[in-house]
Protein backbone atom coordinates (compact mmCIF):
# COMPACT_ATOMS: atom_id res chain seq x y z
CA UNK A 1 0.00 0.00 0.00
CA UNK A 2 1.16 3.52 -0.70
CA UNK A 3 1.82 5.92 2.15
CA UNK A 4 0.74 9.47 2.94
CA UNK A 5 1.97 12.16 5.29
CA UNK A 6 -0.02 13.54 8.21
CA UNK A 7 2.20 16.52 8.87
CA UNK A 8 5.56 14.75 9.18
CA UNK A 9 4.03 11.41 10.22
CA UNK A 10 4.13 8.76 7.49
CA UNK A 11 1.24 6.28 7.50
CA UNK A 12 -0.51 3.92 5.09
CA UNK A 13 -2.90 5.80 2.80
CA UNK A 14 -5.77 3.94 4.42
CA UNK A 15 -5.93 3.46 8.17
CA UNK A 16 -8.06 1.18 10.33
CA UNK A 17 -10.48 2.37 13.01
CA UNK A 18 -10.94 -0.19 15.77
CA UNK A 19 -13.93 1.31 17.62
CA UNK A 20 -16.29 -1.34 16.24
CA UNK A 21 -14.61 -3.91 18.48
CA UNK A 22 -15.84 -2.07 21.60
CA UNK A 23 -19.62 -2.71 21.60
CA UNK A 24 -20.35 0.52 19.71
CA UNK A 25 -22.14 -1.44 17.00
CA UNK A 26 -23.60 -4.10 19.28
CA UNK A 27 -22.02 -6.89 21.29
CA UNK A 28 -18.24 -7.12 20.95
CA UNK A 29 -16.85 -9.99 18.90
CA UNK A 30 -14.61 -12.69 20.29
CA UNK A 31 -11.17 -11.32 21.20
CA UNK A 32 -9.37 -13.89 19.09
CA UNK A 33 -11.40 -12.97 16.03
CA UNK A 34 -10.85 -9.26 16.66
CA UNK A 35 -7.10 -9.80 16.86
CA UNK A 36 -7.22 -11.84 13.64
CA UNK A 37 -8.92 -8.97 11.81
CA UNK A 38 -6.60 -6.27 13.16
CA UNK A 39 -3.49 -8.33 12.43
CA UNK A 40 -4.93 -9.26 9.06
CA UNK A 41 -5.28 -5.57 8.22
CA UNK A 42 -1.58 -5.15 8.93
CA UNK A 43 -0.70 -8.18 6.83
CA UNK A 44 -2.32 -6.60 3.77
CA UNK A 45 -0.65 -3.24 4.17
CA UNK A 46 -2.36 -1.12 6.84
CA UNK A 47 0.13 0.53 9.19
CA UNK A 48 -2.10 3.17 10.82
CA UNK A 49 -4.43 2.04 13.62
CA UNK A 50 -6.82 4.17 15.66
CA UNK A 51 -8.21 3.58 19.14
CA UNK A 52 -9.18 5.62 22.25
CA UNK A 53 -9.40 5.27 26.00
CA UNK A 54 -13.17 5.84 25.72
CA UNK A 55 -13.69 2.72 23.61
CA UNK A 56 -14.73 0.30 26.29
CA UNK A 57 -13.58 2.31 28.19
CA UNK A 58 -10.03 0.98 28.13
CA UNK A 59 -10.73 -2.48 26.66
CA UNK A 60 -10.11 -1.43 23.06
CA UNK A 61 -6.63 -0.15 23.82
CA UNK A 62 -5.79 -3.47 25.49
CA UNK A 63 -7.06 -5.32 22.42
CA UNK A 64 -5.08 -3.14 20.01
CA UNK A 65 -1.98 -3.57 22.14
CA UNK A 66 -2.29 -7.36 22.01
CA UNK A 67 -2.99 -7.43 18.29
CA UNK A 68 -0.14 -5.13 17.29
CA UNK A 69 2.43 -6.01 19.93
CA UNK A 70 4.35 -8.40 17.65
CA UNK A 71 4.60 -5.75 14.91
CA UNK A 72 4.91 -2.67 17.10
CA UNK A 73 7.92 -1.27 15.28
CA UNK A 74 6.10 -1.42 11.94
CA UNK A 75 2.87 0.40 12.83
CA UNK A 76 1.59 3.81 13.91
CA UNK A 77 -0.88 3.73 16.78
CA UNK A 78 -3.16 6.66 17.55
CA UNK A 79 -5.27 6.99 20.66
CA UNK A 80 -7.30 9.71 22.38
CA UNK A 81 -8.01 11.34 25.74
CA UNK A 82 -10.63 13.84 26.77
CA UNK A 83 -13.83 12.28 28.05
CA UNK A 84 -14.42 12.37 31.79
CA UNK A 85 -13.44 8.82 32.70
CA UNK A 86 -12.37 7.61 36.14
CA UNK A 87 -8.79 6.51 35.55
CA UNK A 88 -8.94 3.83 38.23
CA UNK A 89 -12.29 2.19 37.51
CA UNK A 90 -13.01 3.17 33.92
CA UNK A 91 -16.37 4.59 34.99
CA UNK A 92 -17.83 7.08 32.54
CA UNK A 93 -18.78 10.38 34.12
CA UNK A 94 -20.69 13.27 32.56
CA UNK A 95 -18.83 15.68 30.33
CA UNK A 96 -15.18 16.11 29.47
CA UNK A 97 -11.89 16.32 31.32
CA UNK A 98 -8.73 17.72 29.71
CA UNK A 99 -7.10 19.18 32.79
CA UNK A 100 -3.34 18.84 32.24
CA UNK A 101 -2.80 16.66 35.32
CA UNK A 102 -5.62 14.35 34.24
CA UNK A 103 -4.31 14.17 30.67
CA UNK A 104 -0.86 13.18 31.84
CA UNK A 105 -2.21 10.49 34.17
CA UNK A 106 -4.55 9.24 31.44
CA UNK A 107 -1.62 8.92 29.05
CA UNK A 108 0.29 6.77 31.53
CA UNK A 109 -2.65 4.38 31.52
CA UNK A 110 -2.73 4.36 27.72
CA UNK A 111 0.94 3.46 27.53
CA UNK A 112 0.39 0.48 29.84
CA UNK A 113 -2.74 -0.77 28.10
CA UNK A 114 -1.18 -0.51 24.66
CA UNK A 115 2.06 -2.03 25.89
CA UNK A 116 4.17 0.69 24.28
CA UNK A 117 6.84 3.11 25.42
CA UNK A 118 5.61 5.94 23.21
CA UNK A 119 2.23 6.87 21.72
CA UNK A 120 2.71 7.74 18.08
CA UNK A 121 -0.25 10.12 17.78
CA UNK A 122 -2.22 11.40 20.76
CA UNK A 123 -5.48 13.23 20.09
CA UNK A 124 -7.70 15.28 22.33
CA UNK A 125 -10.97 13.43 21.67
CA UNK A 126 -13.18 16.49 22.17
CA UNK A 127 -12.31 20.06 23.11
CA UNK A 128 -12.96 20.78 26.78
CA UNK A 129 -14.47 24.28 27.10
CA UNK A 130 -13.36 24.45 30.73
CA UNK A 131 -9.65 24.07 29.93
CA UNK A 132 -7.80 26.51 27.66
CA UNK A 133 -6.53 24.67 24.60
CA UNK A 134 -3.12 26.23 25.22
CA UNK A 135 -2.94 24.31 28.52
CA UNK A 136 -3.87 21.06 26.80
CA UNK A 137 -1.31 21.59 24.05
CA UNK A 138 1.25 22.45 26.69
CA UNK A 139 0.59 19.21 28.55
CA UNK A 140 1.09 17.20 25.37
CA UNK A 141 4.22 19.22 24.57
CA UNK A 142 5.62 18.20 27.96
CA UNK A 143 4.94 14.53 27.22
CA UNK A 144 6.57 14.84 23.81
CA UNK A 145 9.65 16.27 25.52
CA UNK A 146 9.59 13.30 27.91
CA UNK A 147 9.43 10.82 25.03
CA UNK A 148 5.98 9.50 25.95
CA UNK A 149 4.23 10.94 22.90
CA UNK A 150 5.46 11.65 19.37
CA UNK A 151 2.67 13.64 17.72
CA UNK A 152 -0.30 15.77 18.80
CA UNK A 153 -3.76 15.74 17.27
CA UNK A 154 -7.22 17.18 17.82
CA UNK A 155 -10.61 15.64 17.10
CA UNK A 156 -13.74 17.57 16.12
CA UNK A 157 -12.07 20.89 16.95
CA UNK A 158 -13.02 24.31 15.59
CA UNK A 159 -10.64 26.20 13.30
CA UNK A 160 -9.86 28.84 15.91
CA UNK A 161 -9.02 26.15 18.47
CA UNK A 162 -6.71 24.38 16.06
CA UNK A 163 -4.87 27.62 15.34
CA UNK A 164 -4.38 28.40 19.02
CA UNK A 165 -3.19 24.88 19.84
CA UNK A 166 -0.79 24.85 16.88
CA UNK A 167 1.01 27.92 18.25
CA UNK A 168 1.89 26.02 21.43
CA UNK A 169 2.54 22.54 20.03
CA UNK A 170 2.43 21.85 16.28
CA UNK A 171 -0.63 19.78 15.43
CA UNK A 172 0.06 16.76 13.25
CA UNK A 173 -3.49 15.66 12.44
CA UNK A 174 -7.11 16.63 12.79
CA UNK A 175 -9.63 13.83 13.10
CA UNK A 176 -13.26 14.72 12.39
CA UNK A 177 -16.21 13.01 10.79
CA UNK A 178 -16.08 13.50 7.03
CA UNK A 179 -17.74 11.65 4.18
CA UNK A 180 -20.14 12.14 1.30
CA UNK A 181 -22.93 12.73 3.80
CA UNK A 182 -20.97 14.74 6.38
CA UNK A 183 -19.30 17.75 4.79
CA UNK A 184 -18.83 20.08 7.79
CA UNK A 185 -14.99 20.15 7.63
CA UNK A 186 -14.93 21.61 4.12
CA UNK A 187 -15.49 25.36 4.64
CA UNK A 188 -12.91 26.02 7.36
CA UNK A 189 -11.08 22.94 8.66
CA UNK A 190 -9.66 21.54 5.43
CA UNK A 191 -8.34 24.91 4.18
CA UNK A 192 -6.73 25.51 7.57
CA UNK A 193 -5.09 22.09 7.52
CA UNK A 194 -3.65 22.85 4.11
CA UNK A 195 -2.39 26.26 5.29
CA UNK A 196 -0.72 24.86 8.42
CA UNK A 197 0.54 21.58 6.95
CA UNK A 198 -1.72 19.44 9.12
CA UNK A 199 -3.02 16.04 8.01
CA UNK A 200 -6.71 15.19 8.11
CA UNK A 201 -8.16 11.86 9.26
CA UNK A 202 -11.84 11.30 8.44
CA UNK A 203 -13.59 9.11 10.95
CA UNK A 204 -16.74 7.28 9.88
CA UNK A 205 -15.79 7.73 6.21
CA UNK A 206 -18.52 5.25 5.27
CA UNK A 207 -21.24 6.97 7.27
CA UNK A 208 -21.34 4.28 10.00
CA UNK A 209 -22.05 1.75 7.28
CA UNK A 210 -24.81 3.64 5.51
CA UNK A 211 -22.74 4.57 2.46
CA UNK A 212 -21.95 0.90 1.81
CA UNK A 213 -25.52 0.42 0.62
CA UNK A 214 -26.12 -2.36 3.13
CA UNK A 215 -28.47 -0.41 5.42
CA UNK A 216 -32.09 0.37 4.61
CA UNK A 217 -35.32 1.18 6.45
CA UNK A 218 -35.84 -2.50 7.29
CA UNK A 219 -32.48 -2.80 9.07
CA UNK A 220 -32.79 -3.58 12.77
CA UNK A 221 -29.99 -2.47 15.11
CA UNK A 222 -29.08 -4.04 18.44
CA UNK A 223 -30.08 -1.99 21.48
CA UNK A 224 -26.41 -1.35 22.26
CA UNK A 225 -25.67 -0.18 18.70
CA UNK A 226 -25.31 3.62 18.76
CA UNK A 227 -27.21 3.84 15.47
CA UNK A 228 -30.34 2.75 17.30
CA UNK A 229 -30.51 6.25 18.80
CA UNK A 230 -28.87 8.25 16.03
CA UNK A 231 -31.19 10.75 14.27
CA UNK A 232 -29.66 9.97 10.89
CA UNK A 233 -30.56 6.30 11.30
CA UNK A 234 -34.21 6.82 12.16
CA UNK A 235 -36.44 4.95 9.71
CA UNK A 236 -37.68 8.08 7.94
CA UNK A 237 -34.17 9.50 7.70
CA UNK A 238 -32.81 6.28 6.22
CA UNK A 239 -35.52 6.31 3.57
CA UNK A 240 -34.90 9.97 2.73
CA UNK A 241 -31.13 9.51 2.59
CA UNK A 242 -31.33 6.53 0.26
CA UNK A 243 -30.99 8.86 -2.72
CA UNK A 244 -27.38 9.51 -1.74
CA UNK A 245 -26.64 5.79 -1.71
CA UNK A 246 -28.36 5.45 -5.08
CA UNK A 247 -26.06 8.13 -6.47
CA UNK A 248 -22.97 6.37 -5.14
CA UNK A 249 -24.20 3.11 -6.65
CA UNK A 250 -24.35 4.80 -10.07
CA UNK A 251 -20.65 5.53 -9.89
CA UNK A 252 -19.88 2.12 -8.42
CA UNK A 253 -21.53 0.41 -11.36
CA UNK A 254 -19.57 2.49 -13.88
CA UNK A 255 -16.28 1.74 -12.09
CA UNK A 256 -17.00 -1.94 -11.39
CA UNK A 257 -16.57 -1.14 -7.72
CA UNK A 258 -18.60 -1.33 -4.53
CA UNK A 259 -20.35 1.72 -3.02
CA UNK A 260 -17.91 1.62 -0.10
CA UNK A 261 -14.97 1.79 -2.48
CA UNK A 262 -16.43 4.79 -4.30
CA UNK A 263 -17.08 6.66 -1.03
CA UNK A 264 -13.50 6.03 0.09
CA UNK A 265 -12.00 6.80 -3.33
CA UNK A 266 -13.77 10.14 -3.28
CA UNK A 267 -12.12 10.98 0.05
CA UNK A 268 -8.68 9.81 -1.08
CA UNK A 269 -8.98 12.01 -4.13
CA UNK A 270 -9.77 15.17 -2.20
CA UNK A 271 -6.20 15.90 -1.09
CA UNK A 272 -2.99 13.85 -0.66
CA UNK A 273 -2.98 14.50 3.09
CA UNK A 274 -6.33 12.87 3.87
CA UNK A 275 -6.15 9.38 5.41
CA UNK A 276 -9.55 7.72 6.07
CA UNK A 277 -9.87 5.20 8.89
CA UNK A 278 -12.82 2.93 8.03
CA UNK A 279 -13.62 0.34 10.66
CA UNK A 280 -15.08 -3.12 10.31
CA UNK A 281 -15.25 -6.40 12.18
CA UNK A 282 -14.67 -8.49 9.05
CA UNK A 283 -11.38 -9.02 7.26
CA UNK A 284 -13.04 -9.31 3.86
CA UNK A 285 -14.38 -5.78 4.37
CA UNK A 286 -10.87 -4.55 5.15
CA UNK A 287 -9.75 -6.01 1.83
CA UNK A 288 -12.68 -4.33 0.08
CA UNK A 289 -11.93 -0.97 1.68
CA UNK A 290 -8.26 -1.09 0.77
CA UNK A 291 -9.34 -1.76 -2.80
CA UNK A 292 -10.61 1.82 -2.93
CA UNK A 293 -7.02 3.01 -3.31
CA UNK A 294 -6.89 1.37 -6.74
CA UNK A 295 -9.97 3.23 -7.97
CA UNK A 296 -9.32 6.53 -9.67
CA UNK A 297 -12.11 9.00 -10.26
CA UNK A 298 -11.35 11.31 -13.17
CA UNK A 299 -11.51 15.03 -12.41
CA UNK A 300 -14.84 15.18 -14.22
CA UNK A 301 -16.22 12.20 -12.29
CA UNK A 302 -15.02 13.57 -8.97
CA UNK A 303 -16.58 16.95 -9.70
CA UNK A 304 -19.87 15.36 -10.74
CA UNK A 305 -20.03 13.18 -7.62
CA UNK A 306 -19.08 16.12 -5.45
CA UNK A 307 -21.67 18.45 -6.91
CA UNK A 308 -24.55 16.00 -7.16
CA UNK A 309 -24.02 14.67 -3.63
CA UNK A 310 -23.81 18.21 -2.22
CA UNK A 311 -27.23 18.94 -3.71
CA UNK A 312 -28.81 16.13 -1.69
CA UNK A 313 -30.10 17.33 1.68
CA UNK A 314 -29.16 14.72 4.24
CA UNK A 315 -31.93 14.05 6.75
CA UNK A 316 -31.09 13.85 10.47
CA UNK A 317 -28.27 15.07 12.70
CA UNK A 318 -25.09 13.03 12.34
CA UNK A 319 -24.90 12.23 16.07
CA UNK A 320 -27.25 12.37 19.06
CA UNK A 321 -27.31 15.84 20.62
CA UNK A 322 -25.66 14.57 23.82
CA UNK A 323 -22.52 13.86 21.79
CA UNK A 324 -22.87 16.43 19.03
CA UNK A 325 -22.80 19.31 21.51
CA UNK A 326 -19.07 18.73 22.03
CA UNK A 327 -18.10 19.15 18.38
CA UNK A 328 -16.38 22.12 16.73
CA UNK A 329 -15.50 24.05 19.86
**Residues annotated as catalytic (active site), given as ranges:** 55
- Distance, in Å, from the CA atom of 329 to the CA atom of 327, rounded to the nearest integer, reads 6
Q: Is 277 left (phi over 0), alpha (psi -120 to 50) or beta?
A: beta
- Distance, in Å, from the CA atom of 146 to the CA atom of 116, rounded to the nearest integer, reads 14
In the three-class reduction of DSSP (H, G, I as helix; E, B as strand; rest coil), residue 77 is classed as strand
Q: Where are the alpha helices (DSSP H) in the chain?
A: 31-43, 59-68, 100-114, 133-145, 159-168, 189-196, 235-255, 259-268, 283-290, 299-310, 321-324
If you write DSSP's letter for every residue of 232-268 in order, what string do you get?
Answer: GGSHHHHHHHHHHHHHHHHHHHHHT--HHHHHHHHHH
- Distance, in Å, from the CA atom of 11 to the CA atom of 146, rounded to the nearest integer, reads 23
Residue 253: CB atoms within 10 A of its CB come to 11
Amino acid sequence: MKTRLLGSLEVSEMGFGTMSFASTYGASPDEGEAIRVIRGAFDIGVTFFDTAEAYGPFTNEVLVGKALGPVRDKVVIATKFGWNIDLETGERRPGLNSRPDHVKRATEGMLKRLGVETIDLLYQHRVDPDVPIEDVAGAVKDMIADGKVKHFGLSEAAASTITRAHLVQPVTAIQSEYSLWTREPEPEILPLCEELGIGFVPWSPLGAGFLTGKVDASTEFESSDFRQNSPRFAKDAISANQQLVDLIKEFAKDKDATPAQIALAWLLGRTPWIVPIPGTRRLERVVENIGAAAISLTPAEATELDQRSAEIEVRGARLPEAVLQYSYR
